[in-house]
Amino acid sequence: MAGIIATVTMGALAQGVLYPLLSFILERQGTSPGLIGLSAAMTPLGFIVSAAFTPALARRVGGARLAILCSILTALTLAAIAWTQDVWAWMPLRFLLGFFSKPPYVICETWLISITPPSRRGRIMGLYSSIVSGGFAIGPLSLGLVGTQGWAPFMIGIVAFLLCALFVLAVVPRLPKRAHEGKAVSVGGFFALAPLLMFAVFAAAAFEQTLISLFAVYGAAFDSAEGRIASLIGCFIAGDAVLQIWLGRLAERLGSAQTMLFCVLASLAGCLLLPLAFNSWLIWPLLFAWGGVSFGIYTMSLIQLGERFTGQALIAGNAAFAFAWGIGGIVGSPATGLAMQLIGHQGLPLSLGLLCCALAVFLMAERRRV
């Protein structure tokens, strides 16, 4: 378990370095904000396309071989990005970065769910989510140590992806065989098997990506200083990283479905309280808790995935999760940005609140049906 979690954490750390690093470089080159955004969208687009092929490739090549190969190819792609330093050359390279980096994540997450004892699944998946979120958060902080010039920041990502390959090599001999058993299931087929889980993952991704990308615009409407807004976003991410263990233990007591509903309703409460608390000290504990419960929707989805599926269906489920997460990340921010343009800054909590309402209604309808 430690080896698998370390593998995914290294990948998350590398991604945490790359997102701000490439934006800083493009901004120094005088690239327009729209083109910077288009360049950044290539990586999640690669995630989405890769997710559709991952189950079939894992069956044909083998999960371990695919994870090792893709980790090495990701490191090579990142080296090419560092060497070219050109926005147009980066478009296909950033797509390949997303395409190659997603299969190791999907495969390792599948392995972790497969070997986790059901009685401890909540706390282990909560710990996993916390550590991976921490790795993603450490990525941008490392730029403060090495800067954003030259090869040094890129080497952090290159070394991290090569370590992913080494960690996979280390854990393969201990893996159970049952992770590859069962009837083949495609990503599209899994959407039909668990549509509500897919919508939950979509909602979690849209919530997180929207708030992180548009909170600065929301805060500016209150004349809040940039430093305060950045600190508030950091507080949101900290809650995301810290509270998953507690939510995982709660899932073991109440059940993952009940805990997911709690997370959705708590996220909705955060949407309602945000305008009232923004200019008071209450905004700090609110955003800390909000970050935890909003990402907790994804953690509960992972737990339910492990409870309901095994073998090839589990691999397809993780790939489908990656697909839904990519769609949520791409759709959420533009849709909310449009709402803010039409009705003002309160379009942010309103859009997120409507998303939470829809998910809560579907979850309660599912509970009544069962």
Surface-to-core class of residue 162, CB atoms within 10 Å of its CB (0-12 exposed, 13-18 middle, 19+ buried): middle
Instruction: Check which CATH number belongs to the domain holding 38 and give it.
Output: 1.20.1250.20
The span from the CA of 317 to the CA of 186, in Å, is 9
Q: Are residues 168 and 199 in the same domain?
A: no
Q: Are residues 91 and 198 in the same domain?
A: no
Residue 37, pLDDT score: 65
Number of C-beta neighbours around residue 340 at 10 A: 19
Three-state DSSP class for 313?
helix
Per residue of the chain (370 residues), what is the pLDDT tens digit?
888 888 888 888 887 777 778 777 877 788 776 677 677 778 888 888 888 888 888 888 888 899 899 999 999 999 999 898 888 888 899 899 989 988 888 888 888 888 888 888 888 888 888 888 777 777 767 777 777 788 888 898 899 889 988 988 888 887 766 555 556 667 777 888 889 999 999 999 888 878 877 777 788 788 877 667 777 877 888 888 888 888 988 988 888 889 999 999 999 999 999 888 888 889 899 999 998 999 999 989 988 988 888 777 888 888 888 888 888 877 887 888 888 888 888 888 999 999 999 999 999 988 887 6
- Residue pair 238/291 in contact (Cβ under 8 Å)? The answer is yes
Q: Are residues 323 and 217 in the same domain?
A: yes
CA angle 353, 356, 357 (to 5 degrees): 85
Residue 178, pLDDT score: 54
Q: Which residues contact 62 (CB under 8 A, 6 or more apart)?
A: none
Q: Are residues 45 and 148 in the same domain?
A: yes
Number of domains in the chain: 2
Question: Domain end: 162, 180, 198, which one?
Answer: 180
CA angle 275, 278, 282 (to 5 degrees): 115
Q: Are residues 176 and 193 in the same domain?
A: no
Question: Domain end: 137, 155, 180, which one?
Answer: 180
pTM for this prediction? 0.81
Q: Are residues 65 and 109 in the same domain?
A: yes
- Domain span at residue 292 reads 188-369
The span from the CA of 269 to the CA of 26, in Å, is 38
Amino acid identity for residue 15 in this structure = Q
Q: Are residues 164 and 216 in the same domain?
A: no
Q: Are residues 109 and 206 in the same domain?
A: no
Q: Are residues 205 and 140 in the same domain?
A: no
3-state percent breakdown (helix, strand, coil) of the chain, nearest 5? 90, 0, 10
Q: Are residues 163 and 193 in the same domain?
A: no
Assigned token pair, 301: 């989805």
Residue 262, pLDDT score: 95
Residue 183, pLDDT score: 63
Residue 184, pLDDT score: 63
Q: Are residues 78 and 100 in the same domain?
A: yes
Question: Domain end: 125, 157, 180, which one?
Answer: 180
